[in-house]
């Protein structure tokens, strides 16, 4: 009887330990895949909605010049502040999202505590095909780009394409670069006034 009770206690402890391990593993997995991830993060940065009513480029309904606190209230993500070594007046906040089925990062750039650029950076696992699809959507939504530049090589990467739309003091950029191992796309809106 004594041996049986010890065995049952040990079995309950082992079961609880296994449940705790499963719970911890689930939480770690959830956090690694993005605690702030949502089922439809493409809507967080919808390329079809980057203009406001007056025709200038803008991210959602967040005006350029907004503070971080004002912007963060309107975006349902958890942002991390990136430290800037170059300037104390520049701050960048980032959050992981999913963009067209790829892992991506949404960046909010501030100069002198005023929002001046919002962009999404993503790896294009389709060797530029995803970027081309996005550019087609941008052209369909906003017309032909005001400027288009082709390949330009640097020491660390090659810029394959740059598209730029301008409206008053705002812009929309779509940039595709290639490193030795991957294609990286960036789509962003910003202002030249701040």
The predicted-structure confidence for 17-54, as pLDDT tens digits, reads as follows 333 233 233 333 333 333 344 434 456 889 988 999 89
Residues 5 and 98 in one domain: no
Q: What is the average per-residue pLDDT within 138-157?
A: 90
Residues 6 or more apart in contact with residue 101 via CB below 8 angstroms: none
Q: How many domains does the chain have?
A: 2
Q: How far is CA 90 from CA 59, 84, 115, 120, 137, in A?
A: 19, 7, 10, 18, 31
Tokens representing 68? 């971080």
Percent of the chain with pLDDT over 90: 56
Residue 103 has pLDDT above 70, yes or no: yes
Residues 81 and 25 in one domain: no
Ranked by mean pLDDT, the top range of 37-41, 99-103, 183-187 is 183-187
Residues 91 and 110 in one domain: yes
- The pTM of the full predicted model, rounded to 2 decimals, is 0.75
Bridge partners for 105 per DSSP: 96, 121
Domain of residue 151: give its range. 41-191
- If one counts every other C-beta atom within 10 angstroms of the C-beta of residue 82, the result is 12
Q: How far is CA 67 from CA 35, 52, 134, 169, in A?
A: 24, 19, 29, 19
What is the pLDDT, as a whole number, of residue 142? Answer: 96
Residues 16 and 50 in one domain: no
Residues 62 and 129 in one domain: yes
Beta strands in 68-180 (DSSP E): 80-82, 90-99, 102-111, 114-123, 147-149, 152-153, 158-167, 170-178
Q: What are phi and psi of 153, to 5 degrees?
A: -95, 140
Are 172 and 57 within 8 A, CB to CB?
Answer: yes
More confident residue, 28 or 95: 95
Are 189 and 58 within 8 A, CB to CB?
Answer: yes
- Sorting pLDDT into bands at 50, 70 and 90, what band is 71? very high
- If one counts every other C-beta atom within 10 angstroms of the C-beta of residue 95, the result is 23
What DSSP state is assigned to residue 175? E
Residues 143 and 71 in one domain: yes
What is the pLDDT, as a whole number, of residue 87? Answer: 65
């Amino acid at each position: 009887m004594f041996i049986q009770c010890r065995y049952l206690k040990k079995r309950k402890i082992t079961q609880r330990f296994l449940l705790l391990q499963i719970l911890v593993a689930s939480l770690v997995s959830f956090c690694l895949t993005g605690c702030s991830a949502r089922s439809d993060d493409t809507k967080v940065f919808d390329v079809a909605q980057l203009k406001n009513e007056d025709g200038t480029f803008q991210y959602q309904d967040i005006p350029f010049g907004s503070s971080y606190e004002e912007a963060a209230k309107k975006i349902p993500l958890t942002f991390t502040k990136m430290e800037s070594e170059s300037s104390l007046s520049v701050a960048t906040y980032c959050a992981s999202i999913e963009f067209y089925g790829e892992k991506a990062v949404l960046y909010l750039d501030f100069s002198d505590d005023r929002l001046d650029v919002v962009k999404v950076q993503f790896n294009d696992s389709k060797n530029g095909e995803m970027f081309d699809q996005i550019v087609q959507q941008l052209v369909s939504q906003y017309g032909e780009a005001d400027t288009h530049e082709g390949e330009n090589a640097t020491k660390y990467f090659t810029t394959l394409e740059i598209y730029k739309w301008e409206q008053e003091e705002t812009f929309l950029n779509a940039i595709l670069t290639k490193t030795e191992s991957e294609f990286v796309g960036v789509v962003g809106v910003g202002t030249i006034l701040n």
